[in-house]
Amino acid sequence: MAQGLPAVLPLLPGLVLPRRRPSWQQAPPVVVRAEGVRLDPSHLERFLGVVGGIDPPAVALTFPYVVAAPLHVAVVSHPDFPLPPLGLVHVRERIRRWRTLAVGTRVDLEARTEAFREVPSGVAFDLVTTMTQDGQRVWDSRTQALWRTGGTGRGGQAGVPAVATGAVLPLPVPRGAGRSYGLVAGNLDPIHVSRWTAMPFGFSRAVVHGMWTVGRCVAELGDPLGPASVLVRFRTPLPAPSQARLVARPGPPHDGGGLELAVWGAGHRRPVLEGRLVPAVVGDDDLRHAVAVEEA
């Protein structure tokens, strides 16, 4: 019998309760799977209501990331996961859609940890999520995350260019955007919920999820719907409410074309994120070989 996505509520104690953890140098990979997961039209509708975009005839590029969110919770709450889940920093993301995905169909999912490594600012690792239909890969993501222990990394840009000039689109961040996205994605980290829950973690206001910002960028720039990739590097948190702007320009033809993009917050000296949206499946090297991780 197919096993669907895990329920998140029973996993929450594993996120917050102190426990003895294995050494990250010796921890085995954590692998969690789910089978027969439906790409629910109502879930997609709620997702689009939060990040924007029109209801497409196919699955939006970043929507599978929220579908897989319970697996991500299961990974970081697993007894073999070596790092404290609260405080992990999302540093880079690469999402690839291999072909058009029909709404209402069923998929199999796997999330696994890879490549724990020491970097100047802490311990980094990759969380790899793969979605298949009938044994064929149709979507995947590679998340680079960081447990910060101090210091400042000075990593390379992992193929993600800085964008300072280009077409400018307003990108307002509504009050409660973090809470709304968290309800859709199943990620109610306190820093995203409200000002009062974010303040103990050093934020004067709630900040939105990085993937909310990525989803907004794809919605504003236009989802290619067929094979596509988005690569981003997260640089600094984006508070809610606030006013941001999306800057985009054509990418170099020799590097897949598409669009280079950056999101700038009001008064920020560096972009909130930088990235590329490409109407093709890009290679895996951009993130796999980025060992050093910058401070967010």
φ and ψ of 225, to 5 deg: 70, -40
Long-range contacts of 267-270 (CB under 8 A, 24+ apart): 268/236, 270/235, 270/236
Report, as an integer, the average pLDDT of 65-91.
90
Lowest-confidence pick of 33-47, 62-76, 253-267: 253-267
Q: Are 70 and 6 within 8 A, CB to CB?
A: yes
Region of 38 on the Ramachandran plot (φ > 0 left; ψ -120 to 50 alpha; else beta): beta
This prediction has a pTM of 0.86
Q: How confident is the model at residue 215 (pLDDT cuts 50, 70, 90)?
A: very high
CA distance 137 to 131: 6
Residue holding tokens 């990620």? 187
**Does the pLDDT at position 295 exceed 60?**
no
Report, as an integer, the average pLDDT of 87-102.
91
Q: Are 110 and 247 within 8 A, CB to CB?
A: no
By three-state DSSP, how is residue 232 classified?
Answer: strand
Token duo for residue 13: 């104690």
Q: What is the DSSP letter of 72?
A: H
Instruction: Report the CATH fold assignment for 9-288.
Output: Thiol Ester Dehydrase; Chain A (3.10.129)
Which pLDDT value is given to residue 205?
80
Mean pLDDT of the chain: 83
E strand intervals along 72-217: 89-97, 106-119, 122-133, 136-148, 167-173
**Does the pLDDT at position 91 exceed 70?**
yes
The 273-278 sheet, strands edge to edge = 31-38, 106-119, 122-133, 136-148, 89-97, 228-234, 273-278, 259-265, 242-250, 167-173
Which pLDDT value is given to residue 119?
87
Q: How confident is the model at residue 54 (pLDDT cuts 50, 70, 90)?
A: low
Give the start-to-end residue ranges of the domains of the chain. 9-288
φ and ψ of 258, to 5 deg: 70, -150
Q: How confident is the model at residue 26 (pLDDT cuts 50, 70, 90)?
A: confident
Q: Tell me the percentage of the chain whose pLDDT exceeds 70.
A: 86
**Does the pLDDT at position 57 exceed 80?**
no
